[in-house]
Structure 1
Amino acid sequence: MGKYAFYPGCAAKGASKELYEATVAVARELGIDMVELPQFSCCGAGVLEEVKDVLDIAVNARNLAYAEKEGRDIVTVCSTCLLVLRSAKYHLDNDDDLKEKVNEILAEVGLEYKGTVDVKHFHWVLLEEFGEEGLRERVKSPLEGLKVYPFYGCHTIRPKDIIGYEPSENPQSLEKIVRALGATPVSGVRRLECCGFHAFWPAPQISMKLTGLNLKDAKDSGADCVVTPCPLCHMNLDANQGRALRAIGENFQIPVLHVPQLVGLALGIEPKELGLHRNFVSFSLV
């Protein structure tokens, strides 16, 4: 089994603390060697790039370099962190001049980026380490009869030249996990759409309509719940659910789970340990 440096991201340590708790609980249950490095800093969420491109790359080259020193690939549960870190790695690995410039900055703190580690999402690691069948063998409480709508969001599948884990036009990683847990994945026309999170501040009404349409698609597909690998998608789909549905003239509730929460339930982990009490829409509705 691989060794991983856990990069939770800011959302999972703050507004989405339940995601952090569930991830740690699942990793412990499955015996995944995952260590959170104290040197890690915020990835900048793409905002630093708007200020100064090299600064954005250098900040994340620093994170990558610390993981390299430990000989551990980075694993994250935040899709935006995934994109930002993989983008930094992509540009550094494909631009020698940029890499040299960034390493001059890193040298001031005794670091060097070499390009020896990868950046992965936690649900990729579940499949890479155990596979669909291996996960199924570890399930203690099969989620039989549960219909789950996998909502990917943008940053675990796009842009494909930077993310590149699976075909962005028809990803299947979440469906594989759902099946391994004994549940049934249901597909809708909006499972690969944007949740609208990053549009919220400039255009909240558009953001809420996008979110509402995604939730309605899940309901119309016959889903009992939604599962997403992205904490920002989760915020819009769960915390903003009432507002989003009002924006499209709908009124219903559908639970939205983080991937580790769904996995944890099937592994027999107590709901409180998975932070399910923090979700806005209760899973007890199922």
Structure 2
Amino acid sequence: MPSLKYAYFPGCVAQGACRELYQSTQVLTQALGIELIELKKASCCGSGTFKEDSPLLEDTVNARNIALAEELNLPLLTHCSTCQGVIGHVDERLKERQRTNPEYVEQVNGLLKKEGCSPYKGSTEVKHLLWALVGDYGLDALQQKVTRKLAGLKCAAFYGCYLLRAQDHLPYDDPFNPRSLEDVFLTVGATPVEYVGRTRCCGWPLSSYATEQSFKMAGKYLQAAIAEGADCLVTPCPLCHLNLDSRQPEVEKVMGQKLGLPVLHLPQLVALALGIDPKQLGLDRHIVSTRSVLEKLDL
């Protein structure tokens, strides 16, 4: 099996509102023999809001996060689509500026130096857990670790827009017709469900100022997945999880319909296929009960 090691950027949401994502990522990576060195000094990526005030602020904050991984000579790994999109895009932009506008990178590094931080070098990669599983660990190796095939479980992917569209170059997948999540589903024995909405925005960015519109977006895609027979949604983004799971009761009120569709984090699904006890994965922390998923798997 591959021997992999990453500088781990868990992000804010996984350490707060979606603590089960942090928990299940730890359990999954340990089971796969993947070593994570958590970047305890890292800061919030800004989830795309910093650039509204200052692109330089977004670049500097995230250049510092990347530099922390560079200090370890490791790729930066995150399990949050939003963090991947923001930090990955900053990394792309700064690498391009190193070629076309090195004075800008010097400005960023000058600000980092004032705070006693290491400079950004552009010497590493920013990688989502999904890309690490598909591209680094490999689906063949993952399949060898499966001890509990998720046969009969119908899974609908919800990628999240930042994972697909924030970066100019998307590794291991097609931003317009992605298949990596569906490939993971097949690898662990589950059945992928195709539906309208798998590559759309969940509506979370609108929720603070256009709440009803946000919930209508989420509700529309939940309805579409249910109509296609999905037993659950699976997302690699904790912000999508907040809108689709944590706020699903509010979404139901706006839609005037009971939905009750469980929403799993990617590492929870994969860990179940590795035979890990559901109690270790925080499946009891979800707002929408995951009991129907576990019953489908006879757990």
Which category describes the TM-score, using the shorter chain as reference length? over 0.9
Any conservation in 2 of the 1:83–1:162 contact (CA below 8 Å)? no
Point out where structure 2 has 5 or more consecutive residues left out of the alignment: 294-299
> Structure 1-normalised TM-score?
0.96
1:165–1:99 CA distance, 2 compared to 1 (3 A): farther
1:48–1:68 CA distance, 2 compared to 1 (3 A): same
Q: Tell me which residue corresponds to 2:164.
A: 157
Deviation at 1:160, TM superposition (A): 4.7
Q: Tell me which residue corresponds to 2:108.
A: 102
Partner SS for 2:127: strand
Q: Distance in 2 between matches of 1:225 and 1:261?
A: 12
Q: Distance in 2 between matches of 1:160 and 1:81?
A: 12
Among candidates 167, 182, 194, match of residue 175 of structure 1: 182
Q: Tell me which residue corresponds to 2:229.
A: 222
Q: Distance in 1 between matches of 2:46 and 2:259?
A: 35
Q: Distance in 2 between matches of 1:117 and 1:160?
A: 16
Q: Distance in 2 between matches of 1:253 and 1:282?
A: 8
Q: Tell me which residue corresponds to 2:296.
A: none
Larger deviation: 178-187 or 247-256?
Answer: 247-256
Deviation at 1:138, TM superposition (A): 0.4
Partner SS for 2:12: helix
Any conservation in 2 of the 1:154–1:194 contact (CA below 8 Å)? yes
Partner SS for 2:278: coil
RMSD, aligned α-carbons: 1.3
Q: Distance in 1 between matches of 2:262 and 2:46?
A: 30
Q: Distance in 1 between matches of 2:229 and 2:125?
A: 37
Point out where structure 1 has 5 or more consecutive residues left out of the alignment: none
1:240–1:195 CA distance, 2 compared to 1 (3 A): same
Residue 130 in 1 paired to residue 132 in 2? no
Q: When the two structures are aligned, how many residues end up with a matched partner?
A: 286
Partner SS for 2:268: helix
Larger deviation: 159-168 or 89-98?
Answer: 159-168
Deviation at 1:2, TM superposition (A): 3.4
Q: Tell me which residue corresponds to 1:4.
A: 6
1:219–1:212 CA distance, 2 compared to 1 (3 A): same
Deviation at 1:87, TM superposition (A): 1.7
Residue 112 in 1 paired to residue 114 in 2? no
1:165–1:230 CA distance, 2 compared to 1 (3 A): same
Q: Distance in 2 between matches of 1:131 and 1:164?
A: 14
Partner SS for 1:155: helix
Deviation at 1:88, TM superposition (A): 1.3
Deviations 1:64-100, CA, capped at 9 Å, x for gaps: 1111010110110111111111121122111122211
1:275–1:210 CA distance, 2 compared to 1 (3 A): same
Q: Distance in 2 between matches of 1:71 and 1:213?
A: 43
The correspondence of residues 24-39 of structure 1 with structure 2, limited to 5 A, is 24-39=26-41
Q: Distance in 2 between matches of 1:6 and 1:110?
A: 18
Q: Tell me which residue corresponds to 1:85.
A: 87
Any conservation in 1 of the 2:86–2:166 contact (CA below 8 Å)? no
Among candidates 41, 44, 56, match of residue 43 of structure 2: 41
Amino acid corresponding to residue 181 of structure 1 in structure 2:
V
Amino acid corresponding to residue 86 of structure 2 in structure 1:
V
Partner SS for 1:254: coil
Larger deviation: 31-40 or 8-17?
Answer: 31-40
Any conservation in 1 of the 2:131–2:171 contact (CA below 8 Å)? no
Q: Distance in 2 between matches of 1:112 and 1:190?
A: 40
Amino acid corresponding to residue 109 of structure 2 in structure 1:
N
Deviations 1:195-235, CA, capped at 9 Å, x for gaps: 00000011000000000001001101111111000001111
Among candidates 11, 22, 25, match of residue 23 of structure 1: 25
Partner SS for 2:77: strand
